[in-house]
Structure 1
């Protein structure tokens, strides 16, 4: 008998000893980090609301209870009873029964009304029909991504269960090493912005954190060939902090080269990763570049993803627990906290963070039980990287929009589809509603509309007051009548060009491809147009060149020839909308961090920014700080 089998037998006996005699346990197994208990008495489990919570606390496991298939009510009977229990106002849109696991997925416009206070409605459903309910939200804006991901995972349930069972056994395997040490190896994004990637190693485990590309430098990828990362199929887990391509673009590539393990991230990060990586392949193909992987690898990545909620402490290896916390950067972005060994060491990876609240998100979390080392972004860590106050930034944007409107022109804003666009949408919607700027069409091109739909699917990840507006006051600002989804391609863009004043938000945010190139062709020669940069423009990108004053830019012409385009539009930069903290926010994040770390590695910033921030933290807080280069390894124990 294997160690895991013996462990499960022991757990089954311990569970049986803890629960009432009239509740049976037919099987106990692992699925990923969760312990799954199968029972012929799901209704009795549901009657005792504290039983699962008590077991989870005693066993220190995440627990799911599932009924044996032969004790379930028939789906037709069960559906009638579910609909009788759930209030009509919940807006149930779909019920999907899975007899193999005894689960019924309930999709509803207001999931909270399906769950009930402290889960009371869910328990009532199980008490009546035996099935285990799982609740998902119906997107207020129809989202092809959310629908496709959910349908794909439904089709792959059998494969996914096999993956989860294999991962569960790997997590709970017997520790083989008597040694204890912790190392971090840098595979990218050190003294540069982009291609984020790190290996966190112990004597027992190797974990890859992020695997992104480098904007404007298609040939510069993380150093996955380094010995610390090889062989890829021996890595225990991948943790994705958020979905921006400089952190996620090459996650699917891992599956092309042999990785077959789990990806841990939040649920919105999973969906956004699918959206952005598929678009990444599409853009590469349109630009005549050979994509680094096929779309099948994106599906493999989705199939291997294990979503976690903020604050859930989760075993991801025999000696590593992971907890994700809000990073305030984009939807689902996470500060990833690793608790290693039995109190041996604690490391937090910030990913990208925004310390202060924004219109979209609550500020980044910086309170942890313990943190000895922080791996921290330094995108705006330079000594002069002090961002404009958000209110001042919004005022400047309104002034630019008003001035452009007065001359009958158009405002063209290149923006990241995820995060920045929604922030700008909220600012514009409020300004028009309050009469601060004239009402005019706001055209959303590229993936912005789809990314916005995903935001409204996961309101629990948005700022508290915005979440309340969307789902408690029925005032969804993203559904404002001013917003127009550009879905008619070039014909619609020409119509917009010929029409009156408007605002255009378009991807890509760094002008490296996508529909922004078409808008430049249409509006670049127009002196009445204003191009407004509201986000970071990396070195080497066309956005940085235009921002720096280039008035003639290369364009890919038809037939493969290279043309140039003369620009006569006005160019403005409005700081303060970044999803990253500025210098002061980064310093404040560390200053107020509880507990304050002993060491900080300053990464994901150009050389001067990383070194400036490292020096500032050292002098202000008397802590050990580093601005590592790529391919360095740090041993902490």
Structure 2
């Protein structure tokens, strides 16, 4: 590895201007970091570094050598002198390990400046490399917690990255002449998504989720006992998005000694942390503790590497990863993996939506190469035809109008991430334009914190929403009708009070506050329960969807029966998943035709039905493996 690093250092020095004083070149995870005594010369020539990185096919970061750093107090003065007041800086701190000045601002674009001129001025005048973060418009405990973990563990994190860098850049020992995919969860079922990608040189896990509706350990968690899986051999974990059925079991790996990286987008990291901690808390309160704790979530944070969309990154000796927008929830990503020297390209879609929504853009369908496509099939059955988003919105408004008119309350169980924010935007617009009565919209559970994370990452939202936030100065998430439920004793007042709309987790009524609302609202025919998301088999939501009128629930060691007299409505048009037509259209619209398509994340019938239709329509080889099967893809 030292020879590889030395060769890279020589190449970089040869390409840089002679006056640049290179103090050190290091691997830090997938990045090559250049420490220099005069970084301003390089930063003034942005194209130079970009071209070197492109030619070397490496991610290159420029940092100052510690010997040229300005004193922190003087640096703060200089930063405030350089950055316009309109940027509204809320905090300045320092990471002396990475030689970065961390600037938190309400308007980070002004800290960067046009074409990066302001941020370069900071480096030129202080030596510190600016790391620019957005001040969340809504205060976020999770974002603050993550920033503190990274700040307080900077030295440890650097050692982790250096160790990882040595592993990634060690060079290949074997030809990358085969690749295989082992199904460890989420095949011919929905829940506990997990698979292992193997090459002669690498072992990479794609997602590691839980089935929140599982009845026992065998049905709740991935099959980590497959013979080909060894924790010590794992090069990395790629997380497609933050829903628990894709990331909920990751802390377990750290509990049992995994020391490697997690790759995901920044919103996925933030939301994944939120949902994992909440999952642990709910399981503990319900007397079903999970086989890991919050300290393992914190440990995983130290090992998490965030990547932007379309950023090519080495993650093992023979695999390069590029994320693309999946359109499912904020930060959701399709993973494009380039194996070897052009030997094979595989895309794992994760959950995706091939349609624009109010919240997000449509999933990416343009890739340079794809030989194998692994795609979800949640709504892959031939009868899975969802109404348009517009007609779903109209039906939602009719149902709400009808309920409020008869003096009832509307309970909408939602996933904290994605559907909740989509509904908030819809409800805010319809109320603003007087199309439904203006009543309180109570936000309960993790939804408010998840929404705060959305407001902190507006660059990941739809263009229309970004324009509202950045240019019109209007943030619909902060509208007056939304009321955060802060304490449990507020719920009785809400239930006994005037007509209202309640958005509460969990989305499948598998636990959490939505179940408590359901128990107190279900026997009143004036009220309405609206499902807007997928209800997994075995969940309370699915039983109510099927028409159960007597619901037995175990509480405090005894079984209580609840009678469903409230109106029950299912609106599928708000799903973050593509329906059958969109799934077929997605394959048709791919810019390159895959040689093989593997379907996953769907009930057995839907997985097979979609695969059969793809083969019949597009003459592409399809596979529908079961859990525990290994499929050779190269």
1:440–1:503 Cα contact (<8 Å) kept? yes
For 2:626, what is the secondary structure of its paired residue? Answer: coil
**1:597 alignment counterpart:** 594
2:407–2:526 Cα contact (<8 Å) kept? yes
Task: Specify every segment of 5 or more residues in structure 1 that has no aligned partner in the other structure, as ranges.
Answer: none
For 2:516, what is the secondary structure of its paired residue? Answer: helix
For 1:227, what is the secondary structure of its paired residue? Answer: coil
- Give the whole-Å Cα distance in 1 for the aligned partners of 2:99 and 2:304: 21
2:176–2:318 Cα contact (<8 Å) kept? no
1:529–1:569 Cα contact (<8 Å) kept? yes
- Establish whether residue 517 from structure 1 lines up as the match of residue 515 from structure 2: yes
Deviation at 1:334, TM superposition (A): 0.3
1:16–1:24 Cα contact (<8 Å) kept? no
- Give the whole-Å Cα distance in 1 for the aligned partners of 2:598 and 2:480: 46
- Give the whole-Å Cα distance in 1 for the aligned partners of 2:417 and 2:278: 13
Deviation at 1:14, TM superposition (A): 1.7
- Establish whether residue 629 from structure 1 lines up as the match of residue 626 from structure 2: yes
Deviation at 1:16, TM superposition (A): 1.6
1:46–1:124 Cα contact (<8 Å) kept? no
Deviation at 1:124, TM superposition (A): 1.3
**2:337 alignment counterpart:** 338
2:95–2:151 Cα contact (<8 Å) kept? no
- Give the whole-Å Cα distance in 1 for the aligned partners of 2:366 and 2:536: 31
2:358–2:464 Cα contact (<8 Å) kept? no
- Establish whether residue 244 from structure 1 lines up as the match of residue 240 from structure 2: no
Deviation at 1:52, TM superposition (A): 1.9
Once superposed, what is the RMSD of the aligned Cα atoms?
Answer: 1.0
Deviation at 1:404, TM superposition (A): 0.4
Q: Which residues in structure 2 correspond to 1:413-432 (within 5 Å)?
A: 413-432=412-431
Give the alignment partner of residue 70 of structure 1, picking from 67, 71, 82: 67
**2:80 alignment counterpart:** 83
- Give the whole-Å Cα distance in 1 for the aligned partners of 2:398 and 2:478: 24
- Give the whole-Å Cα distance in 1 for the aligned partners of 2:323 and 2:73: 39
2:411–2:501 Cα contact (<8 Å) kept? yes
**1:568 alignment counterpart:** 565
For 2:104, what is the secondary structure of its paired residue? Answer: strand
Segment drifting more, 307-316 vs 55-64 = 55-64
- Establish whether residue 620 from structure 1 lines up as the match of residue 617 from structure 2: yes
**1:368 alignment counterpart:** 367
- Establish whether residue 25 from structure 1 lines up as the match of residue 22 from structure 2: yes
- Establish whether residue 313 from structure 1 lines up as the match of residue 312 from structure 2: yes
Give the alignment partner of residue 167 of structure 1, picking from 164, 168, 171: 164
**2:226 alignment counterpart:** 226
Deviation at 1:125, TM superposition (A): 1.1
- Give the whole-Å Cα distance in 1 for the aligned partners of 2:322 and 2:404: 47
1:414–1:516 Cα contact (<8 Å) kept? yes
- Give the whole-Å Cα distance in 2 for the aligned partners of 1:594 and 1:178: 28
For 2:132, what is the secondary structure of its paired residue? Answer: strand
Deviation at 1:553, TM superposition (A): 1.1
Deviation at 1:636, TM superposition (A): 2.3
- Give the whole-Å Cα distance in 2 for the aligned partners of 1:520 and 1:271: 29
1:110–1:471 Cα contact (<8 Å) kept? no
Give the alignment partner of residue 10 of structure 1, picking from 4, 7, 16: 7
- Give the whole-Å Cα distance in 2 for the aligned partners of 1:629 and 1:545: 26
State the TM-score, normalized to the length of structure 2: 0.98
**1:542 alignment counterpart:** 540
**2:497 alignment counterpart:** 499
2:97–2:158 Cα contact (<8 Å) kept? no
Q: Which residues in structure 2 correspond to 1:143-154 (within 5 Å)?
A: 143-154=140-151
2:447–2:505 Cα contact (<8 Å) kept? yes
For 2:208, what is the secondary structure of its paired residue? Answer: coil
- Give the whole-Å Cα distance in 1 for the aligned partners of 2:519 and 2:540: 14
Q: Which residues in structure 2 correspond to 1:39-58 (within 5 Å)?
A: 39-58=36-55
- Give the whole-Å Cα distance in 2 for the aligned partners of 1:394 and 1:502: 18
Deviation at 1:118, TM superposition (A): 2.2
- Give the whole-Å Cα distance in 1 for the aligned partners of 2:529 and 2:546: 13
Deviation at 1:496, TM superposition (A): 0.7
**1:403 alignment counterpart:** 402
Deviation at 1:290, TM superposition (A): 2.3
**1:557 alignment counterpart:** 555
- Give the whole-Å Cα distance in 1 for the aligned partners of 2:59 and 2:446: 36
**1:125 alignment counterpart:** 122
- Residues 538-581 of structure 1 show CA distances to partners (whole Å, capped at 9, x for unaligned) of 111000001111111122323x2221212221111111000000
For 1:26, what is the secondary structure of its paired residue? Answer: strand
1:12–1:25 Cα contact (<8 Å) kept? no
For 1:50, what is the secondary structure of its paired residue? Answer: helix
Aligned length: 631
Deviation at 1:474, TM superposition (A): 1.1
- Establish whether residue 327 from structure 1 lines up as the match of residue 326 from structure 2: yes
Segment drifting more, 402-411 vs 547-556 = 547-556
**1:532 alignment counterpart:** 530
- Give the whole-Å Cα distance in 2 for the aligned partners of 1:144 and 1:326: 26
- Residues 405-432 of structure 1 show CA distances to partners (whole Å, capped at 9, x for unaligned) of 1001100000000000001111100000
Task: Specify every segment of 5 or more residues in structure 2 that has no aligned partner in the other structure, as ranges.
Answer: none
- Give the whole-Å Cα distance in 2 for the aligned partners of 1:46 and 1:336: 30
- Establish whether residue 107 from structure 1 lines up as the match of residue 97 from structure 2: no
- Establish whether residue 95 from structure 1 lines up as the match of residue 102 from structure 2: no
- Residues 277-298 of structure 1 show CA distances to partners (whole Å, capped at 9, x for unaligned) of 1111111111111212111111
1:69–1:101 Cα contact (<8 Å) kept? no
